[in-house]
Chain A
Amino acid sequence: TQLLEQSPQFLSIQEGENLTVYCNSSSVFSSLQWYRQEPGEGPVLLVTVVTGGEVKKLKRLTFQFGDARKDSSLHITAAQPGDTGLYLCAGGQETSGSRLTFGEGTQLTVNP
């Protein structure tokens, strides 16, 4: 059973477009992280959000944690080819210590 569901699974857009990736669950998470993975590499952390309603910005990327801490979104403004990669959300729960539950991932391709 996948506790975290990401959508869309695949996204192919043109350079300069905006996009949003969603991460949803029926469970409450104490934290939500977003990772980016490039081919042949392991995932690398982009951001951690821990408070319901929290918004964090990382240059052209905006991350939001839902008020009820059951969902999150990643918005990219004016996407660039360098943004291409697999984006993974990962949730931490109070009873799980440092363990994370990962979503299925969103494969983003930004075409020049």
Chain B
Amino acid sequence: NAGVTQTPKFQVLKTGQSMTLQCAQDMNHNSMYWYRQDPGMGLRLIYYSASEGTTDKGEVPNGYNVSRLNKREFSLRLESAAPSQTSVYFCASSELRRFTEAFFGQGTRLTVV
């Protein structure tokens, strides 16, 4: 039971470097999400994709881009990393309906120095 798989689990970047966080789900879910988690801030939505072929900004999209490659995969790109992007990033997926459960990956701990 893989569920939602994120790679990498840990990453250290220098300011200005770029990287892509990968996410794949095997539950045939239509909707996928990227969140960041900072101490005392809960989970904040960066971008989401309600269904294949669509993406929309969440609460904190600045400095990020996303690609919904297919129904399974949703990647998050940092074009020019900044120290303020140091955080734990979670990918999640769910069915496209109300009251549905969100399934999360194990997270990527990113440090920008």
Contact = CB atoms under 8 A, between A and B. Distances in A.
Interface of A: 2, 4, 6, 9, 30-31, 33, 35, 40-45, 48, 50, 88, 90, 92, 94, 97-105
Contacts of A103: 42
A4 B48 CA distance: 20
Contact of B101 (A40, A48, A104): A48
Nearest to B44: A102
Interface string B36-53: 000011111100101000
A13 to B, nearest CB: 20
Contacts of B35: 102
A45 B102 contact: yes
A98 B100 contact: yes
Interface string B18-46: 00000000000001010100001111110
B105 A42 contact: yes
Nearest to B91: A42
A33 B92 CA distance: 15
Interface in B76-113: 90, 92, 94-107
Contacts of A97: 31, 50, 96-98
B85 to A, nearest CB: 19
B45 A99 contact: yes
A90 B101 CA distance: 11
The 6 A-B pairs of least Cβ separation, nearest first, read A42-B104, A102-B43, A102-B42, A104-B42, A45-B101, A31-B99
6 contacts: A4-B42, A98-B31, A99-B33, A100-B45, A103-B42, A104-B41
A98 B95 contact: yes
B102 A100 contact: yes
B4 interface: yes
B42 A42 contact: no
Contacts of B43: 43, 88, 90, 102
Contacts of A35: 102
Given A40-B106, A102-B42, A102-B43, 9 more contacts: A2-B42, A4-B42, A30-B98, A43-B43, A45-B101, A90-B43, A97-B98, A102-B35, A104-B40
